[in-house]
Every structure is written in C-alpha cells, then in structure tokens.
C-alpha cells in the first residue's frame, strides 16, 4: 500500500499542465495545518497501516522548505508504519537541485527523485513556461547523483510546440548520458483549463498530427531499448529493474491513500478524490470535515479498471483471472481480442495477455475495445 501527498504550490503555471496547482504561497501555512488534520481524520481508511511507498507530487513539492516537508512526514509517521526499504519519492524542479535543498531531502530519507526536465532546449522550455534551463537540469542531476541519490527519474515530452524529431531524439541521447535509472516520456495532450487549451482555441497552436506523434513515440521507444532501458509501461522506461514502485502499485491496483487538494485514494472497493480547490480543502478541514467525491466500484468497473491499468504494463493481464473473476465480461470481447492477437498488437504468453511493442502506439484503441459498457 502507498501514500500520495499532493503539494499544490508552484512558482508559475506550466502551459501544458492539467494537475491542480496554485502559483501563490499565501495559503501555505493553512495548507500545512489542514493536511496534518486530514492525515489524522483518515487514519482508518486503508485496511492496514503499514505503507510500502510514499510519493510527494504536485504542484512542486520541492517548493516547500525542509521543515515544512518534515511536518507532513512526521504526522504521517505518527499515524502509519513505514515498511523497511520503503520507496520515498519526491518530485523536484531542476532549479531546486542545489546542495542545501538536496541535503534536506536526503536527511528526510527520500531515496528517489523525480525531476521535471521536459526538454533540453532552452527555447522549448521558455515556450512552455518552465523556470529552469537545460544546463540547470543537467548539472543538478549530476549533483544529486554525486550526493548519493542512485534512483533518479526524469520526464520528457513528445510533441512540444515547434519540436522536431531530431531535437526529441537529441533529448533522449542527453538523458541517457545522465546518471538516471528511470525515464518517463509523455505525449503532449491538451488538458482543460491550461494555457495550451486557450492557445489551441485561439488558433495559436495545434498538436502534431497523430501519425507524426506515433512515429516519434515508436522511434523514442526503439532508441531507449538500444540504450539499455526496459519499456515497462506505456510512458515509462527503466534501467536495471528500477521501476517506479509507487506508480506500479497503481497499475497493479494496490490500495493507496492520497492527502491534499485533488489527491485520489483507492481502497479496492471505491475511489475517492479530494476537492481540487485549496481554500475549500482548508475550510472544511478547519471545521473537522472532509471535502471529497466518492465512486463505489461495480463489478463492471473493477473489470474495466483491471484491463485498463494492467494492460498499460509489460506484465499485462492474467488469463486465469479474466476467465474466472471476470468471465462474463471477458467473453463479450473475444472478437476484439482475437483481432488484436491476429494483428500482433496483443500477445499471449505464459498465461498472460500483454500489448506488444508495436501495439503500444494504439494502446488507447485496444483498451477501449476491451472495455465493457455497463447497462
């Protein structure tokens, strides 16, 4: 089981980002008090209290000072047991990769860093309103490794405005030369209420053609394989088996609890998510109540989620589970299943079905065809 902590504060809003964040620290102290109260109020949410992973995401968690991060961690430790060897991840912006901040993070026993690089082109970074430079990213990652962090992940984006295939593959090469063991590569999407969405509506920007994006994605996958990365999830690649244990637990439907505005939780039977409004989140907790929405999962939901999350990974889905627990739904999609097995986009191996390397690029279509619509 895992814990996710959402820190909503950012120095500025990146033009592509659809995650909940605020570009102001005005409510920071009130947020810290509120999240401490939420941790106590929700102590009984999960079936047991021992946690295997901890993930601070955002927003920009590294925007908090060491003492502020420590407040949250200590409150978590008072209410949960942390398993030996627990994976502790924190997301950082490259400009925060400086000795004092990294030492503070190390002292708090974070052992995995996830760094939002996105591009090694300063021009591209300005276009998407990132606040760091390519040199800061490269030097910062080298510094972190030199300080003893041996589980470093970073992000890149495919399809940024004006990005060429040559630039993209150059970014992949630069990333591979850094002391990282994990790389997340996402295709740009236009999320609601982002600057890019408004630019698209005004005709100032448009996404690359789907076929162009797909071709670039496949070439990135091929090159990363040549460079020694294992493609273990649609957008994620790892060296030496250094998968993200926290995110893998999501894809394998392990229970988790999320704290902070917009954070999601899952207890095997339902999903719930906190209000995506910092002031509302704080006001409710000041009154000793929670502000969230909840969805009870039906057997159809559980089948669809099992297929959607597990087929995203190289481990795929278990044939026995599908033919047992979910037989009534699995039988309904046999025609679609056979179509993708015949095309080679799905493979059946050792009692499991998984998406092939060539099938990753049409994974959305595969998942959609294997879903069952509840009546």
Residues 224 and 303 in one domain: no
In a 10 Å sphere around its CB, with 0-12 CB exposed, 13-18 middle and 19+ buried, how is residue 68 labelled? middle
Q: Is the entire prediction scored with pTM above 0.85?
A: yes
Instruction: Flag whether 291 is in a domain.
Output: no
Check whether residue 188 and residue 103 sit in a common domain: yes
117 and 203 co-located in one domain? yes
- pLDDT beyond 80 at 126: yes
Assign residue 317 the CATH number of its domain. 1.10.10.10
Q: Is residue 167 part of a domain?
A: yes
Q: pLDDT tens, 349-364?
A: 999 999 998 899 999 9
pLDDT tens-digit series, residues 298-351: 999 999 999 999 999 999 999 999 999 999 999 999 999 999 999 999 999 999
Confidence band of 375 (pLDDT split at 50, 70, 90): low
Q: At what angle do helices 165-176 and 210-226 cross, to 10 degrees?
A: 30
DSSP notation for 4-59: EEEE-B-SS--TT--S--BS--TTHHHHHHHHHHHHHHTTTSSS--EEEEEEEEES
The answer to whether residues 246 and 89 touch, using CB atoms and an 8 Å cutoff, is yes
The last residue of one of the domains, among 218, 250, 282, is: 250
Residue 282 domain-assigned (yes or no): no
State whether 215 and 342 are in the same domain: no
Same domain membership, residue 329 and residue 243: no
pLDDT tens readout for residues 206-262: 888 888 999 999 999 999 999 999 999 999 999 999 999 999 999 999 999 999 999
Asked whether residue 264 is assigned to any structural domain, the reply reads no
Q: Are residues 240 and 303 in the same domain?
A: no
Per-residue pLDDT reduced to its tens digit, 171-205 = 999 999 999 999 999 998 877 888 888 888 888 88
- 90 part of a folded domain: yes
If one compares 77 and 18, the residue with the highest pLDDT of the two is 77
33: left (phi over 0), alpha (psi -120 to 50) or beta: alpha
* Domain extent at residue 321: 299-370
Residues in the chain: 375
Domain total for the chain? Answer: 2
Helix, strand and coil content of the chain, in percent to the nearest 5, comes to 45, 20, 35
Q: Are residues 214 and 348 in the same domain?
A: no
Which residues make Cβ contacts (< 8 Å) with residue 301, sequence separation at least 6? 295, 374
Percent of the chain clearing pLDDT 90 (strictly above)? 81
Whether 275 maps to a domain, the answer reads no
Q: Are residues 207 and 325 in the same domain?
A: no
Supply the pLDDT for residue 83. 94
pLDDT at residue number 186: 93
Q: Are 307 and 355 in contact (CB under 8 A)?
A: no
**pLDDT tens digit string along 61-92?**
988 999 999 999 999 999 999 999 999 999 99
Q: What is the CATH number of the domain that holds 22?
A: 3.20.20.70
Q: pLDDT by residue (tens digit) across 278-291? A: 999 999 999 999 99
Inside any domain, residue 276: no
Provide the pLDDT for residue 205.
80
Q: Are residues 239 and 309 in the same domain?
A: no
Quick check: is 323 in a domain?
yes
Q: Assess whether 138 and 220 both reside in one domain.
A: yes
Q: What is residue 201's predicted lDDT score, i.e. its pLDDT? A: 84
Of 223, 250, 277, the position where a domain reaches its end is 250
| 16/97 same-domain check | yes
Task: Please report the pLDDT score of residue 312 as a whole number.
Answer: 94
234 lies in the same domain as 306: no
How much is the mean pLDDT over the chain? 93
Across residues 31-52, what is the average pLDDT? 91
Give pLDDT, residue 110.
97
**3-state class (DSSP) for residue 367:** helix
């Amino acid at each position: 089981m895992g814990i996710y902590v959402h820190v909503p504060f950012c120095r500025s809003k990146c033009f592509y980002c659809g995650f909940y964040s605020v570009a102001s620290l005005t409510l920071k102290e009130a947020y810290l008090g509120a999240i401490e109260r939420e941790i106590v109020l929700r102590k009984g949410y999960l079936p047991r209290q021992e946690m295997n992973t901890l993930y601070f995401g955002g927003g920009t968690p590294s925007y908090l000072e060491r003492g502020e991060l420590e407040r949250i961690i200590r409150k978590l430790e008072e209410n949960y047991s942390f398993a030996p060897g627990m994976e502790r991840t924190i997301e950082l912006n490259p400009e925060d990769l400086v000795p004092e901040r990294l030492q503070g993070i190390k002292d708090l026993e974070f052992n995995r860093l996830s760094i939002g690089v996105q591009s090694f082109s300063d021009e591209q970074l300005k276009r998407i309103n990132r606040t760091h430079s390519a040199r800061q990213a490269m030097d910062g990652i080298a510094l972190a490794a030199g300080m003893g962090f041996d589980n470093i992940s970073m992000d890149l984006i495919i399809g940024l405005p004006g990005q060429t295939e040559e630039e993209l593959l150059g970014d992949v090469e630069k990333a591979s030369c850094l002391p990282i063991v994990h790389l997340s590569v996402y295709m740009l999407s236009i999320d609601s209420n982002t600057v890019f969405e408004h630019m698209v509506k005004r005709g100032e920007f448009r996404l690359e053609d789907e076929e162009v994006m797909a071709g670039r994605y496949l070439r990135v996958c091929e090159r990363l394989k040549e460079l020694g990365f294992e493609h273990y999830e649609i957008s994620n690649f790892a060296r030496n088996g250094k998968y993200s244990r926290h995110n893998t637990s999501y894809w394998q439907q392990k229970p988790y609890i999320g704290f902070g505005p917009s954070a999601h939780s899952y207890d095997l039977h339902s999903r719930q998510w906190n209000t995506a409004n910092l002031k509302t989140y704080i006001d409710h907790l000041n009154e000793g109540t929670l502000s969230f929405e909840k969805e009870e999962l039906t057997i159809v939901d559980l089948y669809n989620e099992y297929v959607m999350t597990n087929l995203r990974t190289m481990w795929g889905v278990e044939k026995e589970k599908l033919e047992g627990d979910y037989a009534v739904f699995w039988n309904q999609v046999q025609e679609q299943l056979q179509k993708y097995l015949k095309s080679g986009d799905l493979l059946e191996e050792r009692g499991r079905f998984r998406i092939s390397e060539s099938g990753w690029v049409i994974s959305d279509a595969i998942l959609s065809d294997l879903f069952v619509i509840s009546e």
